[in-house]
Amino acid sequence: MARMNASSPTAPGAAPRRPIALLPDTLISQIAAGEVVERPASVVKELLENALDAGGLAIEVRIEQGGSGRIVVSDDGCGIAPDQLALALTRHATSKIASLADLEQVASLGFRGEALASIASVARVRITSRTALASEASLLDSATGAIRPSPGTRGTRVEVIDLYGNTPARRKFLKSANVEAAQCVDAVRRVALAHPGTAFSVWIDERRVLHFVPGSPQERANAGLGEEYREAVRAMAVEAGPLRLTGILGLPSVSRARADRQFLYVNRRFVRDRLLGYAVRQAYADMMHGDRHAAWVLFLDLDASAVDVNVHPAKTEVRFRDAVGIRSFVYHAVEQTLRGGLAETSPLGLVAAERSEVTASSSAPAHRSRDLFQGAGRPLEPARPSPGQKWGGENYPMQFTPSPVAADPAATARIMGFLAPEPAAPPEVHESLPPLGHAIAQLHGIYILAQTVRGLVIVDMHAAHERLVYERLKHQFDREGLARQALLIPATFRADPIEVATVESEGELFERLGLELSVLGPAAIAVRSAPALLAQGDVAALAREVIAEVAEQGASRVIEERRDHLLAAMACRGAVRANRRLSLAEMDALLREMEVTPGADRCNHGRPTWFEISLADLDARFMRGR
């Protein structure tokens, strides 16, 4: 039997083939609306961007029936002249770009000329607008296409009625009215955070639910994150060549179960960029527990020609010409701001200034049990370049000073048990006690109890020491590789062929990680040197863990992306274990190093390492003075 042509209209099972023809403009707009107008919140976003591009300084949004019933966005911007109003609903009609050169350096929020036409294809749209020179406003109704005089003040009012009324299948995919209304409010919040000089009001079914007054960028950002972050943020302003990153970072102590307070902007445009979002999350990674999420409002500003915003009709995706360099810049800027900010604003850095105000008497003002982040709402000065390592590669030469670590190697050695402990007696209470006080006891082989000016500090010794070792490992690795200590007797272990092959091919990387490994045969590996900070632990288990990481991830990825993860795992294995008895001298050495190590309030997994109970809290527990 002769094989039938699949394109033939008589082919079995084949749909009838229509002739090629131009689609009607209405259908084209409805197809475009599928990407531009995903839900009512998409309509709000597009109308807000138009209002801001028009120079609006006071914008009002009204939502009815979750936005499917009615959306109204009003502004006090420049308005649209009557003779141009007819083009407002025409596809690809815009005042914002006129050439390819304009498209490659877009400075406005909108530029495609698709939004209003797409919205009008799935809803009825009424636009009332008046310029400063016009004697009256003009009204355009998409239902009739007619333009007529109308009362109205300067600016533009866009009313979207019965969204998806003529495409009911789309309406079935909407959530409840409350959910859609909440999405609309979030859309306003995202836009408002980037425009602090503009007032925004949102009304849901005649009830005002959001109101932003003009203010400073930090005031607007704080208002966007919520009241719980008002005193738990760190402001940042970091520059590197043509790049500038500003905004606020929520402190790890105030985290969330959902990632719903993360706002990232590129040239004041809200974006959902996986590359930059990952960089920020990685900067928080070793300061926050894995199942929690930080909050931030960050603005990345760079030359418009270095970023392509014409990637998706919704304009929330961008592409960078130097994506790797920008990611590196963002990561290091956020990480160093967090580390410097936490050290500067913690009680460990503030106690000296506060001592004149605090006494050791039980009649001192009551203080809640606090962590390292009290009083962290003050702004941070922009980072200053200093000798050290570059950020972001050759294109963005930013430098930073490595995080400080304790300068006394004997103290660290004593913590690890390398030296015999020195005797120490419980200290007297006086105002010159160090921030974390002096150790007075060890509880159940897990916790260190320390007496401070204010009361009692309780330290999880494993979690705290894990952070200290981790910071030292990072500091050494970034400078010249981990310092090694030769083992008197090499540690050997059985190995599979993959482990043997990994050791043979990646010897240079293992040496940089402080491990001297040699293959003894087809199924055995010897550890001849180990990282000096970890050499007293189970070096064979440590070596196997590192080999597995390198074999699974590859050497280049371990260095570029997995460095901190690997060093954190090494630190965890090398930290002092529960039920390890420490002398008072060893405990004091650990406390002193915590006081000079940024991030020492959290272990590498984001759990707290210490907290303080004030004398006032203890007095209240025992009802003293009542």
Q: Using one digit for the tens of pLDDT, what is the confidence trace for 214-243?
A: 999 888 998 888 888 887 888 889 998 889
Query: At 288, phi and psi to the nearest 5?
Result: -140, 140
The CATH number of domain 25-212, selected from 3.30.565.10, 1.10.510.10, 3.30.420.40, 3.10.20.90? 3.30.565.10
Bridge-based pairing of strands 233-240 and 243-250 is antiparallel
Angle at 282 between CA 559 and CA 551, to 5 degrees: 35
Q: Cα(194)–Cα(598) distance, rounded to whole angstroms?
A: 31
User: Which pLDDT score, from 0 to 100, does residue 109 have?
Assistant: 63
Residue burial 287-314, b: 16+ Cβ < 10 Å; e: rest? bbeeeebbbbbbbbebeeebbebeeebe
The percent of residues in the chain predicted with pLDDT above 90, rounded, is 26
Residue 456 confidence (pLDDT) above 90: yes
Highest-confidence segment of 145-154, 550-559, 572-581: 145-154
Confidence of residue 525 (pLDDT cuts 50, 70, 90): very high
Contact 600, 460 (CB under 8 A): no
Residues 67, 69, 75, 78, Cα dihedral to 10°: 110
**Which H/E stretch holds residue 189?**
helix 177-193
Question: Which tokens is 307 given?
Answer: 């970023």
Query: Are the C-beta atoms of 450 and 459 separated by less than 8 Å?
Result: yes
Does 193 or 433 have the greater pLDDT score? Answer: 193
The CA distance from 538 to 572, in Å, is: 12
Give all strands (DSSP E) within 207-261, no chain letters: 207-212, 233-240, 243-250
* pLDDT for position 51: 92
pLDDT in tens, 255-314: 887 888 899 998 888 888 888 888 898 888 877 766 788 899 999 999 888 887 755 556
Confidence of residue 106 (pLDDT cuts 50, 70, 90): low
> pLDDT tens digits, residue range 408-436?
444 444 444 433 334 444 545 455 788 89
More confident residue, 566 or 612: 612
Distance CA 73, CA 467 (A): 51
Element (H, E) at 528: strand 524-531
Predicted pLDDT of residue 64: 95
Name the DSSP class of 418: S
pLDDT over threshold 50, residue 29: yes
Most confident of 7-11, 282-286, 555-559: 282-286
Element (H, E) at 158: strand 155-161
* pLDDT band, residue 192 (cuts 50/70/90): very high
The answer to whether residue 614 scores a pLDDT higher than 80 is yes
pLDDT at 120 over 90: no
The CB density around residue 373, as the number of other CB atoms within 10 Å, is: 22
* Residue ranges of the chain assigned to CATH 3.30.1370.100: 403-626
Output the pLDDT for position 173: 80
What's the CATH fold of domain 220-400? Ribosomal Protein S5; domain 2 (3.30.230)
d(CA 317, CA 311): 6
Instruction: Give the CA distances from residue 619 to residues 343, 374, 429, 451, in Å, rounded to whole numbers and listed in that order.
Output: 30, 22, 17, 15
Q: What is the per-residue pLDDT for 13?
A: 54
In contact, 150 and 138? CB cutoff 8 Å: yes
**What pLDDT shows up at residue 34?**
53
Give the rounded distance of the alpha carbon of 333 from its chain centre.
12
Residue 577 confidence (pLDDT) above 70 = no
User: Is residue 450 pLDDT above 90, yes or no?
Assistant: yes
Domain with CATH 3.30.565.10 in the chain: 25-212
State the pLDDT confidence band at 528, using cuts at 50, 70 and 90: very high
Pick the more confident residue, 120 or 263: 263
530 has which bridge partners?
Answer: 485
Beta strand pairing status for 438-443 and 398-400? Answer: unpaired
Q: What is the mean pLDDT of the chain?
A: 77
Question: Where is mean pLDDT largest: 116-125, 374-383, 407-416?
Answer: 116-125
For residue 67, what are the contacts with CB-CB under 8 A and spacing of at least 6?
39, 40, 41, 43, 44, 163, 180, 181, 184
Segment of 29-33, 59-63, 484-488 carrying the highest mean pLDDT: 59-63
pLDDT at residue 232, rounded to an integer: 81
| Strands (DSSP E) found in 352-429 | 389-391, 398-400
Provide mean pLDDT across the span 373-386.
32
Query: Would you state the structure tokens that stand for residue 325, as one six-digit string?
Result: 């360099």
User: What is the per-residue pLDDT for 409?
Assistant: 44
Residue 398's pLDDT is: 45
Which of residues 190 and 537 earns the better pLDDT score? 190
Which CATH code is given to the segment(s) 403-626? 3.30.1370.100
Q: What are 92's two structure tokens? A: 């690809």
Instruction: For the sheet with 58-64, list strands across it.
Output: 147-150, 137-141, 124-130, 155-161, 70-75, 58-64, 199-204, 207-212
Q: Give mean pLDDT, residues 532-551.
A: 86
Rounded mean pLDDT, 29-36: 57
**Is the per-residue pLDDT at 492 higher than 50?**
yes
Residue 393: per-residue pLDDT: 43
d(CA 145, CA 166): 17
Beta bridge partners of 150: 137
Domain with CATH 3.30.230.10 in the chain: 220-400
